[in-house]
Amino acid sequence: MTLDEAGDIFTHWKTSPPTHRLVGIIAQMLGWKLQAAPRVRIGFSSEQLKVLTESGAVKTRDVHEGLGQVLSFAELSQKYRESRKGGS
């Protein structure tokens, strides 16, 4: 979605706001309070994570580890700089 398209949507909403927003505003005006959704824990316990890391199934240190094998950021930067020099 472009900014222009978003602007069109917001302009439309000025005259025709989304129904769910109107219902929420009216409910709040009548005293209804929004209740927070219950928190759901997602992930592993520290013991589970320890077992997984020791077995080699999960690596917890560097999320970018191995990405350099797929993308060489130094090489990409060099190619970009060279293309900018040649295009000037």
pLDDT digits (tens, 9 = 90+) for 32-84: 887 877 777 777 788 887 887 788 776 666 666 666 666 677 788 888 888 88
Residue 50 in domain: yes
Average confidence (pLDDT) over 10-26 = 88
Give the count of domains, the chain. 2
Residue 41 in domain: no
Residue 40 in domain: no
* DSSP per residue, 9-67: HHHHHHHS--HHHHHHHHHHHTT--PPPPPP---S--HHHHHHHHHHTS---S-TTTTH
Q: Are residues 29 and 57 in the same domain?
A: no
Domain, as residue range, for 21: 1-33
Q: Are residues 27 and 51 in the same domain?
A: no
| Residue 29 scores a pLDDT above 60 | yes
Q: Are residues 23 and 50 in the same domain?
A: no
Distances (CA, A) of 22 to 19, 32, 33, 35: 5, 13, 15, 18
Q: Are residues 58 and 82 in the same domain?
A: yes
Is pTM beyond 0.75? Reply is no
In this prediction, residue 30 carries a pLDDT of 93
Residue 18 in domain: yes
Q: Are residues 60 and 83 in the same domain?
A: yes
Please report which confidence band the pLDDT of residue 31 belongs to, taking 50, 70 and 90 as the band edges: very high
In this prediction, residue 64 carries a pLDDT of 63
